[in-house]
Homo-oligomer: A and B are copies of this chain.
Amino acid sequence: METAQLSRKDQIDQTATALFRTRGFAATSMRELAAALGMEAGSIYSHIRSKEELLHRICFRLAEEFFAGFDQASADDALPAAPRLRRAVESHVRVLTTDVAASAVFLHEWRHLSEPARTEFLALRERYEAGFRELIAEGAAAGELYAPDPAFAALTLLASLNWLPSWYRPGGSFTPPDIAHRLANQLLFGLEVRGN
């Protein structure tokens, strides 16, 4: 394992992410974080302003990555909605698997953000979900997708994807692209065998 030349601040972010993921934000103490970094609790404040700043940075950085991936995946206007949806799903899975710990924090710990960051975060998440919703609605309107309620379909779809960090372990039997492919298939084709 190469330590690389991460700045001390980045090391703190990284260790905090891992701890917030496994123990939760509220249950992780600064002394615990410091111990994991081999330093004293007070010393951390030479690098950050507050505990919440750590959470804030993790959550909003991930939000940016999700958006960047989605925008790139759904941009191609020449493509029908269904394949663009597939690409968006694959992008979402890529972000999730690239940074599992941060993703888990992003998904579960945002409620410990205090206002106004919390509201701001929820607005971002809603906007992201809207992207999927519109893609599905577009596909449904064009007859490519069967989705009597695009909002419902979008929620279910993202739900399946977002559970991933709770069971995915890097180095397991599935590679991230493999997972992305399987998930997209299962969600788009379903489980039931139909006569075709």
Contact = CB atoms under 8 A, between A and B. Distances in A.
A146 B26 CA distance: 42
Contact of A162 (B139, B152, B155, B163): B163
Interface stretch (A2-10, A36-44, A59-67, A182-190): A182-190
A96 B191 CA distance: 22
The A interface, classified by DSSP as helix, strand, loop or mixed, is helix
A189 B186 CA distance: 9
A149 interface: yes
Contact of A192 (B22, B24, B146, B158): B146
Contacts of A139: 191
A188 B152 CA distance: 15
Nearest to A150: B191
A163 B159 contact: yes
Nearest to A152: B182
Contacts of A163: 155-156, 158-160, 162-163
B196 A195 contact: yes
A71 interface: no
A54 interface: no
A194 B189 contact: yes
Contact of A193 (B143, B174, B192): B143
A13 B191 CA distance: 39
A130 to B, nearest CB: 14
A78 interface: no
A118 interface: no
Interface of A: 22-24, 26-27, 82, 108, 111-112, 136, 139, 143-149, 152-153, 155-164, 167, 174, 182-183, 186-196
